[in-house]
Amino acid sequence: MMAKLLVMMTLQADIAVPYRATAILFVTKIR
């Protein structure tokens, strides 16, 4: 159960980091 949670958290982190980077790029591009 704990391993599953860890895997899900790492997957979310892998998805969130590039998403955040693209969001920042998008915002800076608009400005």
- Can you give the pLDDT at residue 14? 82
**What single-letter amino acid sits at 11?**
L
- Can you give the pLDDT at residue 10? 86
Chain-centre distance for alpha carbon 5: 16
DSSP-derived secondary structure letter, 31: -
Cα distances (angstroms) measured from residue 27 to each of 2, 11, 22, 23? 37, 25, 9, 6
Which tens digit of pLDDT belongs to each residue from 1-31? 788 988 888 888 888 888 888 989 899 988 7
Rounded Cα distance between 26 and 9, Å, is 25
Total domains in the chain come to 1
DSSP-derived secondary structure letter, 19: H
pTM: 0.44
- Can you give the pLDDT at residue 2? 83
- Can you give the pLDDT at residue 28? 92
Domain that holds residue 17: 1-31
